[in-house]
Structure 1
Amino acid sequence: MARYIVDSQIDNHEKYYFIREQESQDIVLLPSKYLMHKKRSKLSPNTIRRSAGAISYYLNYIDETGIQLDDVWEMPYDKQQEHFTDYLIWLQAGLHSGDSYKKKPYNETCNAYLKEVFRFYRFSGQQDESIKQLKVLSDMRIIVHNSVGVKRTLYRNTFHGYLQEKGHIGKTIEQDKIVILLKACANCRDQILLLLLAETGFRIGELLGVRYATDIDYERHLLYVNFREDNENGARAKNAEYRKAKISDATFEILQFYIEEYKDLIFQQEYLIINISGDYAGKPMQDSGVYALMERLQKKTGIKVTPHMLRHYFANARRKAGWKLELISQALGHRNIETTMRYLNISDQELIDVSDEFYRKHQSIYEIDKLL
């Protein structure tokens, strides 16, 4: 049984995460202080929850190995390198989950957990007046250019020992499968939820935070993402951003039908997407309810779908329709074009097809016919 667990508490609609020692039920002070630091830095609840998970995995790992956090600071370079490399191997084997038979995490995921541990060490080192630093983190200078050619120099600490990443690309879903899922929905609330995710590219937290009175332009068929920290259902826009998306006329008609169908529940509160039955009818829907809905649809149709798969569908559908990469990136709310590129599932056959088309139009580009 894991010694350290992630716990949370809701206070005045705000969710706070902390690390608890399971046997004594005591809160572990320094990691919990770090999570509060992330909360004050305006990071989303989901981001903080993932950080809490990563820190709890590491605390359980060092507990298994019989060392303390302070011991790691004092290790010489080669021992620190070995310590963190062994931690990556431990994660890669799936031992952090307590079940080695479960699907093993991707190397990218293991690296992300370790990077969070390094951020925790950096924070804890700054709590000390001497400002301690890990020996395995070396300074690296990166020169980057933004979209308009302005050069920036970034300074980062790096670790020479991360697992090799395979460039994992998230899964998307095809349009014909979305049609099947829509037909399998039990009500128009479920249908409009799928449609809005597919047509806006919003993250699930962004869509669940939409308020029907202030975040919808009913004349131009626009939905707005507005950053708020006080949403009743804990929904929140990432990166404290504001943006908008246009939906189709057909989807807007279903949206209007949904609002009319459940107006007695919707108009009692502020949010567009609500629970329509059960003990929580009329309450804003939470992401757990969305995932439960999608699991029911999968059992009914055999088609797996998640909010993020619909976000990938949005990106790929727009690319195939001829949208520029910069527009897709902006629509998704990405800070970096590189992130958007990971959403685009460009197949080998597609590269062959565009090559054939290029040569068809420019077959005489090298005047080869004159060489024969």
Structure 2
Amino acid sequence: MKYTKTKYPNIFTYETQKGLRYHVRRGYFVNGDKKEFNKSGLRSLKDAQRILRDIEERIYHDEMDVNLELTLNEYWEIYSAKKEKTGQWNDTSIYTNAGIYRTMIKEKWGNLPLKKINRNDYEEHLAEMLGQYRRNSVLTSNRLLNSILNDAVKNGNLRQNKLSGIYLGESELEPLNKELKIDDFQTWIKTAEELLSTTHFAFVYLTIFGLRRGEVCGIRFMDVTFDSNNRAVLNIRDSRSNRTKDGAGRTKTESSVRYVVLNDRGSELLLQIMETAKQVKKKADVIVEQEKDYLSIRIKNNKYYLERPAFLNKIFKRVSEECGIYITPHIMRHFFTTQSLIAGARPEDVMHFLGHASLQTTKQYTHIKEERAHNVTDLFDKKVL
């Protein structure tokens, strides 16, 4: 193909059977290597000038070696894979964020190029979502989408996150009430004790001490010791979710590794759980390696099974339906936090106890071990139990 120069740099013409066409050729460098952009088939000088302006702008912004045409779905695959590979998301986080993306983001925005996600359209969409979901759910999906777009900006696949700082109104749905009165708590616990088997009640009782569902299901024989007063001391260092039912080998975050001290009743019930687990293994004739020797097990047709973590939610639902007071394992965690602070526990101690401290604070906590955990349990026990 013979190209003829025009008076405009980097723009050429050439003849075709259908008439005159324009061609754009522009050299540029990427990491010291010379490359060349070429575009043919342009029908007018105006089209050629527009293409050239776009290329000049991309060169100016150092964007020639990145893909600016990625859709949100395509970038989500890059983003989520990176989060998993770098360890920023554990198995539970991967599962949770994938669910949020699939149910609240993908259908509306997934097939759009990143650069075409419009602020006005998104604001209208947020308003629609607030009519269908609670505000916290919409807030969570908004944070995830903004995190994806911010990452795309940092990697050069998007020039600007147009959704940054967007206003989020109020939901038409009432937020879930996570407040639990002491009277309701005591009624619920009494119902649970009357309704459930001793072992199932024991698992419920463990959540009173602010343990996450996955942490309750992640307790192994090796994680239990007893102090001089025969109170159980739990070393929380593993977790099981529905996605990692065989064990994650770690907690939700590094700061979640901690010690939790049970009261006398909790210690007695934990011994019941341990004895039941021993009987299950004996009846099923199995020997389990120490790192996988979880307490939350069952037997069916003389076979040994790990309980799915969702079993705890089913137990809670059964009790809630019986007494008419709605409580989940997570609400129990909120209740423990609130009542411990009301009872006079230091906020720092409660944060350590719950595993919400920073990594630096957690490292300090591993040295003092049980002292703060005893203090929080004593105050909560005197006020509530």
Alignment TM class, shorter chain as reference: 0.5 to 0.7
- Cα distance in 2, alignment partners of residues 39 and 280 from structure 1: 38
In the other structure, the counterpart of 1:216 is 224
- Cα distance in 1, alignment partners of residues 334 and 202 from structure 2: 18
In the other structure, the counterpart of 1:323 is 345
Distance 1:178 1:234, change over 3 A: farther
**Long gaps (5+) in structure 2:** 1-72, 359-385
| 1:60 aligned onto 2:107 | yes
Q: How does 1:114-133 map to 2 (within 5 A)?
A: 114-126=142-154, 130-133=156-159
| 1:285 aligned onto 2:302 | no
Partners of 1:223 and 1:244 within 8 A in 2:
yes
Letter in 2 for 1:202: L
Aligned residue pairs, count: 266
Letter in 2 for 1:177: T
Compute the RMSD of aligned alpha carbons.
3.1
| 1:246 aligned onto 2:284 | no
In the other structure, the counterpart of 2:273 is 258
Letter in 2 for 1:218: F
In the other structure, the counterpart of 1:93 is 131
Distance 1:280 1:204, change over 3 A: farther
Q: Which has the larger radius of gyration?
A: 2
Partners of 2:219 and 2:238 within 8 A in 1:
no
**Long gaps (5+) in structure 1:** 1-27, 95-104, 138-157, 337-372
How far off is 1:287 after superposition? 2.0
How far off is 1:261 after superposition? 3.3
SS, match of residue 224 in structure 1: strand
- Cα distance in 2, alignment partners of residues 281 and 121 from structure 1: 48
Distance 1:302 1:178, change over 3 A: closer
**TM-score normalized by structure 1?**
0.62
How far off is 1:125 after superposition? 4.3
Partners of 2:199 and 2:269 within 8 A in 1:
no
How far off is 1:284 after superposition? 2.5
How far off is 1:123 after superposition? 3.2
In the other structure, the counterpart of 2:192 is 182
Q: How does 1:1-372 map to 2 (within 5 A)?
A: 29-40=74-85, 41-56=87-102, 57-62=104-109, 68-70=111-113, 72-74=114-116, 80-94=118-132, 105-126=133-154, 130-136=156-162, 158-164=164-170, 170-172=178-180, 174=182, 175-199=185-209, 201-212=210-221, 214-219=222-227, 221-227=232-238, 232-233=246-247, 237-241=251-255, 242-266=257-281, 268-269=287-288, 270-278=292-300, 282-335=304-357
SS, match of residue 276 in structure 1: strand
- Cα distance in 2, alignment partners of residues 235 and 60 from structure 1: 34
How far off is 1:34 after superposition? 2.6
How far off is 1:82 after superposition? 0.7
- Cα distance in 2, alignment partners of residues 326 and 114 from structure 1: 30
Letter in 1 for 2:204: L
